[in-house]
Amino acid sequence: MQRKKECVAMLLAGGQGSRLYALTNKIAKPAVAFGAKYRIIDFPLSNCINSGIDTVGVLTQYEPLELNEYIGNGQPWDLDRAFGGVHILSPYQAKVKSSWYEGTANAIYQNMHFMKKYNPDYVLILSGDHIYKMDYAKMLKAHIETGADCTIAAIEVPLKEASRFGILNTNPDGSIYQFEEKPKQPKSTLASMGIYIFTAQKLFDYLEADEQNPDSSKDFGKDVLPAMLNAGEKMFSYRFEGYWKDVGTISSLWEANMELLGEEPVFDVADPDWKIHSRNPLAPPEYIGDNAEVGNSMVALGCEIEGVVEHSVLASNVVVEEGAEVRDSVIMAGTVIKKGAKVLYSIIDENVTVEEGAVIGDPQEAGKGIAVLGRQITIGKNVKVDGGKILDQDYKGE
């Protein structure tokens, strides 16, 4: 008997995430830090291993370096397997043709040999853009029980946001009769989550066909799924009820971080039954100093806090010096907020230095928006960075 895997996951992690501006200048969106110790990609990877799926291809393209290094051999997610495990799949040169990934479907097509190696019955397609906890095994069970060729995970969204999504129009049994990509006038509020399970052979057939079609933009949502539906393949929706958050914009990333806070958070990363695995920082416990005040916040290992931290998320090794204040903000690893500096309603990337007396951002009530500082920059003494501003270079004032 040939060795095989029942289900192989393919994770599309090539996204640039251009709406995250300075935060994705040098890294791909799935590598963006979230929730004090995680990165976005920890969520789909943890979901995979927690669902019993131990073979994951991660398709990277845009600024893959940091993401590749972060994933490494997959050990933090228990995905360092002798047969299976996590594999980075970058665009490559071949004798016949070499090309960048042209669309989501083309990216999967170019890695057909990877999937076929595991002789899978099913292929799970994921993206690395969302924060959520989902048991893919339940979805796979539904896919098997309905006898579908393709199952699309779907979630109810507010009507006014529906036109941002791929919308599924379904029959009462959950089968899909129409698929509309970002419709101006949506007929339903059931949105595709970009999570698909295909019966493997169907996927391979349709990817081959799509590749031959010169008019195709080689995209799942625009081309492959409609083609399957038109050909009368059995397509079902799988309803997901739970927290699912696109963190593709500055404000949604900020919001998602804040939703981790409080005694009963909107989204719980400390769920013992669904552990979120990640690469762990090598740091001692955080130290909270004599004059520090820390309220309604999440703080990671290695932080040294002497100032005030309120309603904020601080990643590992952040320093908040005496007299400094951090409020309503997300601070990523290794950033230093010096004496008397203030950070209000901001997102600050890794290894930033905010010099003494500087003020970053304005209070949320001021309505100016979230201030964003890109990685490894320095903000000069007593400098003011207005709310809503996005900086990716050192700033010493006007």
Report in angstroms how near the CB of residue 291 gets to another protein at its nearest: 8
Closest distance to another protein from the beta carbon of 289 (Å): 6
Min separation Cβ 370 and another protein, Å? 21
284 binds another protein (CB under 8 A): yes
Residue with tokens 């979120």: 276
> Which amino acid is located at 368 in the chain?
K
**Among candidates 358, 282, 287, which has minimal Cα distance to 324?**
358
Q: How far is the CB of 293 from another protein (least distance, A)?
A: 8
Number of Cβ within 10 Å of residue 52's Cβ equals: 12
Q: Which is nearer to another protein, 284 or 363 (CB)?
A: 284
263 binds another protein (CB under 8 A): yes
CB 239 within 8 A of CB 174: yes
Q: Smallest Cα–Cα separation from 206: which of 112, 137, 88?
A: 112
Per-residue contact string for residues 295-334; x = within reach of another protein by CB under 8 A: xxxxxxxx------x-------x-----------------
3-state secondary structure at position 122:
strand
| Of the candidates 51, 42, 52, the residue with the CA atom closest to the CA atom of residue 77 | 42
Is residue 74 within the footprint of another protein (CB under 8 A)? no
Out of 289, 357, 380, 388, name the contact with another protein by CB under 8 A: 289
Query: Among 173, 290, 365, 398, which residue interacts with another protein (rule: CB under 8 A)?
Result: 290
Nearer to another protein (CB atom), residue 295 or residue 363: 295
Would you count residue 261 as binding another protein (CB under 8 A)? yes
Produce one character per residue of 173-208: b if its CB has 16 or more CB atoms within 10 Å, e if not: ebebeebbeebeebebbbbbbbbbbbbbebbbbbbe
Q: How far apart are CA 97 and CA 352, in angstroms?
A: 42
Tokens 């290894």 -> residue: 351
Say how far apart CA 207 and CA 102 lie, in whole Å: 13
- Min separation Cβ 188 and another protein, Å: 36
Binding of residue 215 to another protein (CB under 8 A)? no
Q: In terms of CB distance, is 300 or 348 closer to another protein? A: 300
CB of 284: closest distance to another protein in angstroms? 4
How far, CA to CA in Å, does 105 sit from each of 58, 90, 216, 230, 247?
A: 14, 15, 10, 17, 23
Residue span binding another protein (CB under 8 A) among the ranges 56-64, 122-130, 263-271, 365-373: 263-271
Per CB under 8 A, 75 contacts another protein: yes
The least CB distance from residue 258 to another protein, in Å, is 13
Nearest approach in angstroms of CB 71 to another protein is 16
Least separation in angstroms between residue 206's CB and another protein is 38
Distance CA 179, CA 222 (A): 9
47 near another protein, rule: CB under 8 A: no
Binding mask 100-139 for another protein (x = CB under 8 A): ----------------------------------------
Amino acid occupying residue 34? F
Q: What SS3 state is found at 129?
A: coil
Nearer of residues 103 and 334 to another protein, judged by Cβ: 334
In angstroms, the CA 313 to CA 36 distance is 6
384 phi, psi to nearest 5 deg: -110, 125
Which stretches of the chain bind another protein, using CB under 8 A? 35-37, 75-76, 261-263, 269-270, 275-278, 280, 282-302, 309, 317
